[in-house]
C-alpha cells in the first residue's frame, strides 16, 4: 500500500500539503523572506492601506503587517506543531500501552489521565505557569502537560476497540510479537482517529496560545503572533475592520489546510475509502499486473 501514490491523486489533499509545507518553510526562513523588520515602528505609516512596499499595509504602530504575519508563523504554526507532536507522542505511546496491554497498566495510566483532565485546561496551564514562571518555554511545557492526557484517553479507547477484533487475535495466537502487532495491525487503523484529534486541536491551540499571549504569559508584546495580531485589530474592529483580515484569513487557511490534509491522509491510508473513489483506475492497474 503506497500512501504517497494515493495522496498524489487527491487535489485538495496535495494543495493542503503544499500549503502546510510552504508555510512551514516560510516560517523557518522568515528573516530572508519578510520584506521588513516586523518590529520597526513608523508612526507616519499608521493604519496605511496596502502599498507597493507594504503589501498588506501597516498596523497601529506603522509596522509591516506582512512581515509580522510571516514572523508570526513561528509561534502560531511551528510552535503549535511542535507542542502537538510532543503531546501526541506522549499521549499515543501511553494510550497504546494502556489500550493494548489493559489490566493494571491501563488502570494506572487512566487514573493519572483522570486527574489531569479533572482540572479545566486553562486553570491548569495558569497554575503551571504560576509555578514555573512566565515565558514561552513554560507555556509549552504547560500545554504539553495538559494536552497529553486527552490524547492518551482517545487513543486508548480506539486501540481497545481494535484489539478485540479477530485479526489481532489471530496475530496474537500466531505468536507474532506485540511490537509487530502494534506496528502493522493497530497503528494503521487507529491513525484515522489520530488525524482527527490532531487536526481538530490545531485550531483551538493557535487561539489558546494567543489567549495566553494576550494575558502577557506567553509571547511578549512587540513580537508578532497571529492571535495577538487579531487581538490588536479587535480594538479598531469597527473603524478599520480590514486589520483583522490578514491574521484571520491566515488562521482560517491553516486550520482548513490541516483538516483537509488529515482527511486526505485518512482516505489515502484506508483501502476501503480510496478504492471506492477510484475503482476505475485501480481495476485497470490490477489488469496490467496480471
Partner 1 sequence: MLQIENITKSYHNGIIGWKKKHQVLHGVSFACEAGESLGIIGESGSGKSTLVRMILGIERPDQGQIFLHGKSVEYRSTRRGQISAVFQDYTSSINPFFTVERAIMESVHLRTNIDSNSIYVLDSLLEQVGLNASFKKRYPHELSGGEAQRVCIARAIACRPQYLILDEAISSLDVSIQVQVLQLLKELKNIYNMGYVFITHDIQAAAYICDRIIIFRQGQIEEIINTDQLSQVQSDYGRTLLATSIVL
User: Would you tell me which residues interact with partner 1 (CB under 8 A)?
Assistant: 1, 165-167, 169-177, 184-185, 188-189, 269-272, 275, 286, 289-290
In whole angstroms, the minimum distance from the beta carbon of 269 to partner 1 comes to 7
In whole angstroms, the minimum distance from the beta carbon of 4 to partner 1 comes to 15
Nearer to partner 1, 11 or 289 (CB): 289
Cell 489558546 belongs to: 208
Nearer to partner 1, 242 or 270 (CB): 270
In whole angstroms, the minimum distance from the beta carbon of 193 to partner 1 comes to 14
In whole angstroms, the minimum distance from the beta carbon of 89 to partner 1 comes to 22
Angle at the Cα of 193 (from 190 to 196), degrees rounded to 5? 150
Nearer to partner 1, 122 or 170 (CB): 170
CA–CA gap between residue 50 and residue 279 (Å, rounded): 49
In whole angstroms, the minimum distance from the beta carbon of 188 to partner 1 comes to 5
Nearer to partner 1, 40 or 161 (CB): 161
Nearer to partner 1, 160 or 176 (CB): 176
In whole angstroms, the minimum distance from the beta carbon of 71 to partner 1 comes to 41
Nearer to partner 1, 65 or 171 (CB): 171
Amino acid at each position: 500500500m503506497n500512501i504517497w501514490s494515493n495522496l498524489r491523486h487527491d487535489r485538495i489533499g496535495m494543495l493542503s500539503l503544499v500549503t502546510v509545507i510552504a508555510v512551514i518553510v516560510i516560517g523557518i526562513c522568515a528573516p530572508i523572506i519578510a520584506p521588513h523588520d516586523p518590529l520597526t515602528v513608523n508612526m507616519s505609516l499608521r493604519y496605511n492601506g496596502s502599498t507597493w512596499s507594504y503589501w498588506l499595509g501597516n498596523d497601529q504602530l506603522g509596522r509591516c503587517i506582512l512581515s509580522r504575519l510571516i514572523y508570526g508563523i513561528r509561534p502560531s504554526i511551528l510552535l503549535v506543531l511542535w507542542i502537538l507532536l510532543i503531546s501526541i507522542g506522549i499521549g499515543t505511546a501511553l494510550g497504546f500501552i494502556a489500550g493494548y496491554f489493559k489490566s493494571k497498566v491501563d488502570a494506572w495510566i487512566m487514573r493519572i489521565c483522570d486527574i489531569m483532565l479533572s482540572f479545566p485546561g486553562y486553570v491548569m496551564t495558569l497554575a503551571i505557569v504560576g509555578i514555573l514562571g512566565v515565558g514561552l518555554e513554560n507555556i509549552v511545557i504547560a500545554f504539553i502537560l495538559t494536552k497529553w492526557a486527552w490524547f492518551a484517553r482517545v487513543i486508548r479507547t480506539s486501540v481497545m476497540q481494535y484489539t478485540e477484533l479477530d485479526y489481532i487475535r489471530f496475530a496474537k495466537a500466531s505468536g507474532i510479537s506485540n511490537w509487530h502487532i502494534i506496528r502493522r495491525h493497530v497503528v494503521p487503523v487507529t491513525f484515522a482517529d489520530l488525524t482527527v484529534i490532531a487536526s481538530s486541536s490545531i485550531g483551538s491551540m493557535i487561539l489558546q496560545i494567543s489567549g495566553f499571549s494576550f494575558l502577557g504569559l506567553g509571547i511578549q508584546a512587540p513580537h508578532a503572533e497571529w492571535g495577538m495580531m487579531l487581538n490588536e485589530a479587535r480594538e479598531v474592529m469597527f473603524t478599520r475592520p480590514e486589520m483583522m483580515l490578514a491574521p484571520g484569513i491566515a488562521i482560517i487557511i491553516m486550520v482548513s489546510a490541516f483538516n483537509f490534509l488529515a482527511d486526505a491522509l485518512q482516505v489515502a491510508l484506508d483501502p476501503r475509502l480510496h478504492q471506492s473513489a477510484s475503482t476505475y483506475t485501480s481495476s485497470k492497474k490490477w489488469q496490467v499486473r496480471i
